[in-house]
């Protein structure tokens, strides 16, 4: 009902509510874009260089570990690089498959399990 009459509403959004009830001051944050890399994204050297730059950036931000989300083509190549455990990346990178590809793999497994039963 508060959104029906916005000029009379004194109910803040979720972020505003948390800011009002929080007893700790949140540090000032900045959002920045990463530099553009003018190279083929699926090339092993491009992927490796990007991972090294991300680990360096994480080190500057005092983060011990980074989580990288990618599509299936990039994911498989990054996993090969990470499994080789090159020195700059050793134990610093965890890969995550993108949501679309994760969903496609899940649906594919359902088709594999129940495809003969006429479900799909």
Burial grade of 58 (CB within 10 A; 0-12, 13-18, 19 or more): middle
Task: Tell me which residue range forms the domain holding 38.
Answer: 32-117
- Lowest mean per-residue pLDDT among 22-26, 104-108, 114-118: 114-118
27 falls within a domain:
no
What is the token pair recorded at 8? 């009379």
Q: Which of 46, 24, 25 is nearest to 35 (CA)?
A: 46
- Domain-embedded: residue 107: yes
Q: Is the residue at 22 inside a domain? A: no
- pLDDT value, residue 6: 56
Residue 17 within a domain? no
In a domain, 20, yes or no: no
Q: Does the pLDDT value for residue 120 go beyond 70?
A: no
For the entire predicted model, the pTM comes to 0.62
How many domains, the chain? Answer: 1
In a domain, 98, yes or no: yes
């Amino acid at each position: 009902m508060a959104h029906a009459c916005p000029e009379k509403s004194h109910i803040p959004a979720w972020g505003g509510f948390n800011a009002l009830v929080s007893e700790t001051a949140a540090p000032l944050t900045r959002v920045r874009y990463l530099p553009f890399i003018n190279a083929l994204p699926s090339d092993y050297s491009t992927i490796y260089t990007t991972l090294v730059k991300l680990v360096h950036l994480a080190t500057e931000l005092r983060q011990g570990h980074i989580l990288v989300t990618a599509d299936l083509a990039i994911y498989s190549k990054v996993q090969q690089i990470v499994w080789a455990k090159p020195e700059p990346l050793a134990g610093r990178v965890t890969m995550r498959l993108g949501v679309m590809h994760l969903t496609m793999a899940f649906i594919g497994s359902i088709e594999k399990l129940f495809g003969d039963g006429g479900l799909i």
